[in-house]
A and B are shown apart, each in its own frame.
Chain A
Amino acid sequence: MKHYEVEILDAKTKDKLCFLDKVEPNATIGEIKSMFHKSHPQWYPARQSIRLDPKGKSLKDEDVLQHLPVGTTATFYFRDLGAQISWVTVFLTEYTGPLVLYLMFYFRVSFIYAPKYDFTTSKHWVVHLACMCHSFHFMKRLLETLFVHRFSHGTMPLRNIFKNCTYYWGFAAWMAYYVNHPLYTPPIYGEQQIRLALIIFLFCQIGNFSIHIALRNLRPPGSKTRKIPYPTKNPFTWIFLLVSCPNYTYELGAWFGFTLMTQCLPVAFFTLVGFIQMTVWAKGKHRSYLKEFRDYPPLRSPILPFIL
């Protein structure tokens, strides 16, 4: 069996960083990253980007050496992706914040509102309902992160946790401040509006959960395979006929319901920003589905049936 020689150069300075000889032809990039890590312990595999071309795309961990367009002496370029943090850690942190913060505003902890309101409760029942819905939503997210989701990437850049937490925690505090405020004004159309909003919210929560389960079942444990999602026996998944990323569709619906329930402009704003971000993600996902699968169902839109 012919062995390969692998040299790893810095993508920017072209310095020779590492030379590996007697590498098995069926070695994967992941294994090469581990070997590289041994000679450079500060660069753990998750922060290594290995590519064939200094300005090219990163190679995947699963790529096998002998299937790559390299000679028996393979030259790879390395780029440091910076400190990494696991997706699970980021999700848990960014979702726990809103859960805790909202409750602090709900219970009117000291220094938020005027002292005479400390530890009082709102006189509007919709405020209690909103707290339950908001808390339920984030507890659901936390549990899904721990038990449902199967992540394709293990890690993301460390600075993302600061960016993401600022977004989630900041918006949660801003929304919670007004909904739980002593001078809160309940929805104009009263009980009718709140009831409709609650129905929409619950419907979309169940829908969102159904989609997460369906996506999880597409992927066997520990694998990173990608398949086209299809409707299952669960009626909430039938939306797959029309939409590529129904998890985002349902998420938008849930926040729309919450906006209707609270009639609060900061909530509307949060829904809008979330909608924009999710549309960007949905379009990207839709595009990569189209690129990867030639037989992708043509009727589907990224996030809103027929519209977007």
Chain B
Amino acid sequence: HYEEAYGEARLKCPHVALKQHRKPGFFWWLVLAMAMMRFYIQKGTHKGLYRSIARTLKFFQTFALLEVGHCALGIVRTSVIVTGVQVCSRIFMVWFVTNSIRQIQNEESVILFLVVWTMTEITRYSYYTFNLLHHLPYFIKWARYNLFIVLYPLGVAGELLTIYAALPFVRRSGMYSMRLPNKYNVSFDYYYCLIVFMLSYIPLFPQLFFHMLRQRRRVLHGEVIVEKDD
């Protein structure tokens, strides 16, 4: 059943359409990187930096949902689940943590994950674009499959520290939460939801990290990895 559907989804979309999508993605992250650098150079501090790039970030981070679609259609050779998890966690961070909880927008951890995301995405998009053009410089391939070793853990640290900093504000304000009694007979505590979200990094992060390590061995060292098939 699953094999059938996946086989059909491996349609070869015209490369033109894909290139046209890739270029804006690459462009946005470059714009973001330059906006961040310019802010820091001009103001000499990271305070207020998030506010200045917030709208742009929200806009094209949501745009990244298309990524998942691309993987599902087999246009890009990355697993749907891996990309899906990453995109979902980023959207959650941007919309439900940094956007909603103003008090933590000037934390250093926010700058940390923003820098990491920017560097990761610029490397990744460069890789895809050059790959499609069949003209991939080795250093971009090297960057894509080596930088993550440092960037992934740093990014995770930034995200987790941000959520941790946000917890007291969430507790105090009771935001996004619903208590009993109510006519729907349900309750929701955003505070514990965030804690569960943080704990979910424990099983998920190693899986994503080792997935990238396997990709790295395959691409850089030409090792043949026999994947477990279902």
Q: Which residues of A contact B (CB under 8 A)?
A: 178-179, 181, 183-185, 188, 262-266
Contacts and interface: CB of A to CB of B under 8 A. Distances in A.
B181 A265 contact: no
A185 B182 contact: yes
A266 B178 CA distance: 14
Contacts of B182: 185
B47 to A, nearest CB: 41
Contacts of A188: 183
Contact of B184 (A181, A183, A264): A264
Interface of B: 180-187
A178 B183 contact: no
A185 B186 contact: no
B228 to A, nearest CB: 11
A209 B69 CA distance: 42
Nearest to A177: B187
A72 to B, nearest CB: 32
B183 A181 contact: no
A266 B185 CA distance: 8
Q: Find the residue from B180, B181, B185 having the highest chain A CB count within 10 A.
A: B185
A40 B186 CA distance: 53
B180 A265 contact: no
A144 to B, nearest CB: 27
Contacts of A183: 180-181
A184 B183 CA distance: 8
A263 B183 contact: yes
B186 A181 contact: no
Contacts of A179: 185
Contact of B181 (A185, A262, A266): A185
B177 to A, nearest CB: 14
Contacts of B186: 178, 264-266
A263 B185 CA distance: 7
Contacts of B185: 178-179, 181, 184-185, 262-266
